[in-house]
Amino acid sequence: MPFISRIQRQSDYNLFPSTVPIVIDNGASYFRIGWAGETNPRVIFRNIVQRPRHKTTGETVTIVGDHDPALLKYFDCTRSGPRSAFDSNVVYQFEIMEYILDFGFDRLGANGSEIDHPVLITECVCNPVQSRSKMAELLFETYGVPSVAFGVDAAFSYKYNQHLGVCDKEGLAICPGFTTTHVIPFIEGEPVYGGSCRTNIGGYHITDYLKQLISLKYPHHMARFTWEKVEDLKMEHCYIAPDYALEARLFQKGAKEAEDKTRCWQLPWIPPPVEEPPSEEEIARKAAIKEKQGQRLREMAEAKRSSRINELENELHGLEFLLEQLEQVEEDDIPSFLSATGYLSKQEIESALLKVTQSLRKAKGEPKDDQAESEEKTDPSTNEKFPLVNIPDNMLTPEQLKEKRRQLFLKTTSEGRQRAKQKRSESELERERKNQQDEENRLYGENPELYLEQLRVKYKEISEKVEQRKRLKTNGNHTNGNNMSGSVGRGERLSAAQRERMRLLTTAAFDRGKGEDTFGARDEDWQLYKLMSKDNDDDDDGPDQDEAELTRISSRLQEIDPTFVPSSELGTSQPVEVPRIRPLTKEDFKIVLGVERFRCPEILFHPNWIGVDQAGLDEMAGVSIRRLPSMGEGVEERLTSSIFMTGGSCLFPGIAERLEAGIRMIRPSGSLIKVVRAFDPVLDAWRGAAAYAIDPQFLTQTFSKTDYYEKGEDWLRRYQVKYSL
Amino acid sequence: MEQEVVEAEIVLPTHLSFKRIQMYEKYPKSQSRSRHWKHLKQILQAENYQNYPPDEPTYVNIESPPSMHPCKRICDVTGYEAPYYDPRTNLRYANAEVFKLIRSLPNDYVQRYLALRNAAVVLK
């Protein structure tokens, strides 16, 4: 049940005589103000101030508390969020505090020239004197309050419930609030602050923890998790587990109870419109358009080709004509004739003619005669080794002739040797293969099952090996889903090429890092880049052998095993990568609260889960008892038999049972432990204060402006109201 | 201002009759808006608690001591009991499934999970 602000302006302010005190419960989350002696505060609002700009007029305005978000649309709230006057549980920004008091008194209906009522205002335990004096000064100087009293909210709540008979006059008040949690022992109906303790954890931290956890779990919906919404979720769904470990294990196992305890929050989701498949006509129309376009392109290409052929033919005719004319021209007139045509010699014209005929042939699509090329194709290695063999005899000197004969002999013998060697190795390989085949056939014949099994194992081994090597080489691009950007993800090895590149880079950096940088001065330096850019080159023949073996085995397996399917046909052995973009479904808009429901409030008992190194709720009770000056067993017994919980964060279901179990662990066995919850953990502090302020003895506990200025800071520091009047 | 905003009276009026000193007098617009407040840390430092008798309760000495119970470690992601710890990300995890997840998390998410228990790397 979310708290609801009550901010209607009260109209009966003038009906109260100036002796009736105004009671303010100034909590870190909510501000409550009302009249002494009444049972409920008149005005309640969140203790925050916003100072947004009005969108049309541009003036900065002050808005106190939380309001209908529909009204805030006229304001530009982006530049300043809601601000609180509290740091932990101490008021430190009195400008904000003043806005809040303004709003509170205004809504209470104040309309005189000053606030002519005594004021009782709550503060935290052991409030620093600086904060207390600033608050008193503000009330006296700005609002003209005649007298002021400060009290602790938890103590008022305890006293109120003591009157109701919920707790005894000796007991422990445990108050998990908004930013802090206090444990205060009460002896003879008075709080003993010497025995109290404070852990800086509260409802704020629980909400924040829940907000962070669900926004980490559902990063797409982060914008939905506003503070107010998460606060509502916390109040509606969170509970304290009797035993955290047991409860968590329940969820881990996915038990039926855990399923029942899981809550879902369905965000509004509209299914995307379903796209209809294109109709027959549509497809036909598209195909026709495509065909038409293709036809046009083909026609264009054809036209281009024919025009080119035309052009070339014209040129050819021109050149032929030129040559004919050249034949008829006198020897002496050739240069002058040539200069007129633009060619230098007859050879040039002929070469041009040749070129044109060739390109014409090409344009017409006739096969190019590659006679010229094949002629030049001779074995360069033999040519190099035996340079004289191919040279005619009549071009050589006698010594060279002798040399040539020697080379010829050498050449024939070496060629013969090579042939023999090749033949031998081939026959050897053949024999080996045959042996293997025989062996395998024999094995297959003897025990087909075993043989098949062995073959399968071998196949698996080799295929894994090949796969591995492939992965190492081409790592980084497609192997794993988690390094999508091509960078190397967590826990992944670099590929061989990447490793080599890294090594080159580091050695280059270390070599050159010493003196001045001379990289690039020498030409060899630039070779580095060539080396680096080399990627995935096959320089070892290991995998080839493996691959050959793999194909052999797989073919053999295919032969004899009808159920065998090569792994390459199955796809890679890696799990198929989930497509990154898939249509969002209703499930994606479902916020599931499982473990979070009890994990978040658990930080009250284990503050170190959010990095606060302090004792949790149950331990604090023990600390508090230990801190009390020793007063005998009886007192301790009485304290634990009246453990009283108040404050907003004690509303979680199951907290009382858990607290009882926790305190039982640190108390001697058999001691009486009773945990009770306040009648209304949220409002009882104000009610207690209102009941206290209506007592005629209340005025003796207040101090006036003159007291404040005359008695000094030391007095103010020691100032403490007596709760039992 | 729009009609509904005025009707709801959500904007605090600048002048209030019951105040002796108005907001605009105390914090005039022309004045430089320098900080006129102290953080809690500064307030506590100015209190000079060391001059007070040690048995007097103060804001500082009523703080709870560190917990004496053995620390329960929970999985940073799922909240289950966490027997394991990943030295690379410093995250605690419950089982192999979560381990797979945390190894695939981008670094800023790891840091945000760590920040939940105040263990993130903070660069100053």
Residues in A closer than 8 angstroms to B19, CB to CB, are 102, 114, 142-143
Q: Tell me the nearest-neighbour CA distance from B73 into chain A, angstroms.
A: 8
Q: What is the mean pLDDT of residues B60-89?
A: 92
pLDDT single digits (tens) A698-713: 999 999 999 999 998 8
pLDDT single digits (tens) A630-645: 777 788 889 999 999 9
Range of lowest pLDDT (A385-394, A502-511, A589-598, B50-59): A385-394
Chain B nearest-CA residue for A100:
B12
pLDDT at A89 over 70: yes
Which of A68, A94, A99 lies closest to B37 in CB terms?
Answer: A94
Q: Are A636 and A172 in contact (CB under 8 A)?
A: no
pLDDT at A371 over 50: no
Which of A31, A84, A95 is the best residue to mutate to test the B interface, defined by the most B CB atoms within 10 Å of its own CB?
A95
d(CA A692, CA A158): 12
Looking at the DSSP bridge assignments, the partners of residue A647 are none
Parallel/antiparallel/unpaired status of strands A119-123 and A590-593: unpaired
Q: Tell me the nearest-neighbour CA distance from A291 into chain B, angstroms.
A: 48
Looking at the DSSP bridge assignments, the partners of residue A171 are A186
Q: Where are the beta strands (DSSP E) in A231-351?
A: 263-266
d(CA A358, CA A353): 9
- The more confident residue out of A278 and A355 is A355
User: Residue A57 and residue B37: Cβ atoms within 8 Å?
Assistant: no
Given the structure tokens 């796209």, which residue do they identify? A275
User: Residue A128 and residue B43: Cβ atoms within 8 Å?
Assistant: yes
User: Residue A74 and residue B26: Cβ atoms within 8 Å?
Assistant: no
Residues in A closer than 8 angstroms to B101, CB to CB, are none
User: Residue A130 and residue B2: Cβ atoms within 8 Å?
Assistant: no
pLDDT computed for residue A328 by the predictor: 80
Q: What is the mean pLDDT of residues A173-201?
A: 93
Q: What are the C-alpha distances in Å from A234 to residues A263, A349, A600, A666? A: 12, 96, 9, 29
pLDDT band at B31 (very low <50, low <70, confident <90, very high): low
pLDDT single digits (tens) A373-382: 444 444 455 5
- The more confident residue out of A506 and B58 is B58
Q: Tell me the nearest-neighbour CA distance from A710 into chain B, angstroms.
A: 20
Could you report the predicted ipTM of this complex, rounded to two decimals? Answer: 0.93
Q: What is the mean pLDDT of residues A431-457?
A: 79
**What count of residues does chain A have?**
725
User: Residue A125 and residue B62: Cβ atoms within 8 Å?
Assistant: yes
CA angle, corner B59, sides to B58 and B60, nearest 5? 90
pLDDT band at A670 (very low <50, low <70, confident <90, very high): confident
pLDDT band at A453 (very low <50, low <70, confident <90, very high): confident
The percentage of chain A sitting over the pLDDT mark of 70, rounded to a whole number, equals 86
pLDDT at A319 over 60: yes
Residues in B closer than 8 angstroms to A146, CB to CB, are none
pLDDT computed for residue B33 by the predictor: 64
d(CA A327, CA A309): 27
What is the crossing angle of helices A496-512 and A448-473, to 10°?
Answer: 30
Residues in B closer than 8 angstroms to A212, CB to CB, are 112, 115-116
CB atoms within 10 A of CB A421: 10
DSSP A274: P
pLDDT band at A30 (very low <50, low <70, confident <90, very high): very high
User: Residue B112 and residue A216: Cβ atoms within 8 Å?
Assistant: yes
pLDDT computed for residue B34 by the predictor: 65
For the residues of A539-575, what is the DSSP string, one character each?
Answer: --SHHHHHHHHHHHHHHHHHHH-TT---HHHH--SSP
Which of A84, A210, A215, A613 is the best residue to mutate to test the B interface, defined by the most B CB atoms within 10 Å of its own CB?
A613
Interface size between A and B, measured as CB pairs under 8 A: 189
Parallel/antiparallel/unpaired status of strands A86-87 and A90-91: antiparallel
d(CA A356, CA A310): 12
How high is the mean pLDDT of chain A?
A: 84
Residues in B closer than 8 angstroms to A595, CB to CB, are 78-80
Residues in B closer than 8 angstroms to A119, CB to CB, are none
User: Residue B43 and residue A141: Cβ atoms within 8 Å?
Assistant: no
CB atoms within 10 A of CB A254: 9
Q: Are A120 and A155 in contact (CB under 8 A)?
A: no
pLDDT at A210 over 80: yes
pLDDT at B93 over 80: yes
Chain A nearest-CA residue for B33:
A95
pLDDT band at A605 (very low <50, low <70, confident <90, very high): very high
pLDDT at A569 over 60: no
pLDDT at A570 over 50: no
Q: Coil, strand or helix: which one is B82? A: coil
CA dihedral A609, A610, A613, A617 (to 10 degrees): -70
**What count of residues does chain B have?**
124
Q: What is the mean pLDDT of residues A356-383?
A: 62
pLDDT computed for residue A481 by the predictor: 42
CA dihedral A461, A465, A466, A468 (to 10 degrees): 130
Given the structure tokens 């995935």, which residue do they identify? A536
Looking at the DSSP bridge assignments, the partners of residue A75 are A54
The one-letter amino acid at A71: L
pLDDT computed for residue A707 by the predictor: 92
Q: What is the mean pLDDT of residues A643-665?
A: 93
d(CA A73, CA A607): 38
For the residues of A11-77, what is the DSSP string, one character each?
Answer: S-GGGS-TTSPEEEEE-SSEEEEEETT-SS-SEEEES-EE-PEETTT--B--EES---TTGGGGEE-
pLDDT at B96 over 60: yes
pLDDT computed for residue A161 by the predictor: 95
pLDDT computed for residue A192 by the predictor: 92
pLDDT computed for residue A478 by the predictor: 46
pLDDT band at B26 (very low <50, low <70, confident <90, very high): confident
User: Residue A95 and residue B37: Cβ atoms within 8 Å?
Assistant: yes
- The more confident residue out of A36 and A7 is A36
Given the structure tokens 């006296």, which residue do they identify? A140
How high is the mean pLDDT of chain B?
A: 88
- The more confident residue out of A469 and A159 is A159
Q: Are A138 and A94 in contact (CB under 8 A)?
A: yes
pLDDT at A571 over 60: no
pLDDT band at A585 (very low <50, low <70, confident <90, very high): confident
Closest of A675, A703, A636 to residue A185, by C-alpha: A636
Which of B10, B71, B104 lies closest to A71 in CB terms?
Answer: B10
Looking at the DSSP bridge assignments, the partners of residue A45 are A31
Which of A112, A599, A616 lies closest to B18 in CB terms?
Answer: A112
Which of B5, B57, B65 lies closest to A615 in CB terms?
Answer: B65
pLDDT computed for residue A515 by the predictor: 61
Closest of A148, A26, A152, A30 to residue A94, by C-alpha: A26
Looking at the DSSP bridge assignments, the partners of residue B85 are B92
Chain A nearest-CA residue for B119:
A611
Q: What is the mean pLDDT of residues B55-65?
A: 91
The one-letter amino acid at A345: S
Chain B nearest-CA residue for A125:
B59
pLDDT computed for residue A373 by the predictor: 44
Q: Are A97 and A135 in contact (CB under 8 A)?
A: yes
Q: Are A77 and B8 in contact (CB under 8 A)?
A: no
Parallel/antiparallel/unpaired status of strands A119-123 and A22-26: parallel
User: Residue B17 and residue A113: Cβ atoms within 8 Å?
Assistant: yes
The percentage of chain B sitting over the pLDDT mark of 70, rounded to a whole number, equals 96
How far, in whole angstroms, is CA A463 from its chain's centroid? 36
pLDDT at A568 over 70: no
Exposure on the CB side of residue A175, measured as CA atoms within 13 A:
32
The dihedral built from the CA positions of residue A449, A455, A458 and A464, taken in this order, carries a sign that is negative
Residue A583, phi-psi category: left (phi > 0), alpha (psi -120 to 50), beta (remainder):
beta
Q: Are B57 and A126 in contact (CB under 8 A)?
A: yes
Residues in A closer than 8 angstroms to B43, CB to CB, are 90, 92, 128, 130-131
d(CA A57, CA A80): 17
pLDDT band at B48 (very low <50, low <70, confident <90, very high): confident
User: Residue A194 and residue B20: Cβ atoms within 8 Å?
Assistant: no
- Listed in sequence order, the residues at least 6 apart from A135 whose beta carbon sits closer than 8 Å to its beta carbon are A91, A94, A97, A121, A123, A150
